[in-house]
Amino acid sequence: MPSAFYGYLGLLLASLFWGGNFMFGKMVSAEIPPIILNFSRWFPAAIILLLLFHRQLKPCLPIIRRYWLLLTALGVLGIIFFPVFLYQGLLTTTALNASIYLAAVPMATLLLNRLFFRDPIEPHMLVGAILSFIGVLYLLVQGDPSNILVLNINSGDIWAIGSALSWAVYCAIVRLKPPQLINSVFVTSLVTIGVLLFSPVYLYSLTQGDGAVYRELSTTQWQIVLYLIIFPSILSYIFWNYGISIVGSAKGASFTNIVPLFAAALSIIILREPIHLYHIISSILIVCGLVLCNRKVRSP
């Protein structure tokens, strides 16, 4: 059996590639409409996944039909809402802001699990969730509470929060995944369903003239689209599932929290996005909330 080192390396690479989605999404958000960018990312990924895993997919079709509603919901949340809202938000907000909102997903998932599945919330978890919410709110108003009164809130931040919330709902209900579906078939099913449902939206966008953007893309922009197809859409899932199979889901789940860290670091280093005091304060509040939510309380 492979050593734990390779398992952790797989999880680390998956997190890095997902973090790169924020940075590269920001780089092309002004040139490629969100609908066009999302379809251009997922349609080739669906074709590649079907070519790789079609043999495993066929015997699982009865299970897929039985759980079609759940798989459809997960496909809509993870393949459509999460990336489209993110790319729309990156038009007017920074990748750094979007990554900080993503960091609040574990706390949002905690509350959703309580709402949907009646999972217990310990007092320290509740305090952590409140701290994280304050951190998100502080970032939203850019450290100035008066912005709430004058509604001086960037629409891009609202879209980015919607993206994070859609991923939080995804994380909350993915626990219902049928155990009979291996991860390769599961991911292929979600991507295929998401692409099929998104195709009419994409075709409508083409009728509005958005498809003309393809003729205007530079070599660098095509390379970014290729990155989005190969790395965050395919390789991240492969490396993630590989890592989980070695180190286990309990240890692997914590690597989800590294994605915002990579996204923030890449946006600062490569995009040169400025860091303000409110970024630091909101990040500290969210991280403190995350630590509280994951702290294990010893039995008396």
State yes or no: pLDDT of 231 exceeds 80: yes
Q: Per-residue pLDDT tens for 115-133? A: 888 888 778 878 887 888 8
Phi, psi of 154 (to 5 degrees): -65, 125
The average pLDDT across 52-62 equals 93
Contact of 39 with 195, CB cutoff 8 Å: yes
Which of 14-23, 41-50, 165-174 is predicted most confidently? 41-50
- Cα 282 to Cα 135: distance, rounded to the nearest angstrom: 4
Q: How confident is the model over 229-253, as a mean pLDDT?
A: 79
pLDDT tens for each residue of 90-118: 999 999 889 888 878 877 888 888 888 88
Q: What is the pLDDT of residues 129-149, one digit of tens each?
A: 788 888 888 887 878 887 766
Using alpha carbons, select from 66, 9, 21, 12 the residue that is nearest to residue 45.
21
Q: Determine the pLDDT at residue 141.
A: 80
- Residues 222, 79: Cα–Cα separation, whole Å: 20
CB 191 within 8 A of CB 42: yes
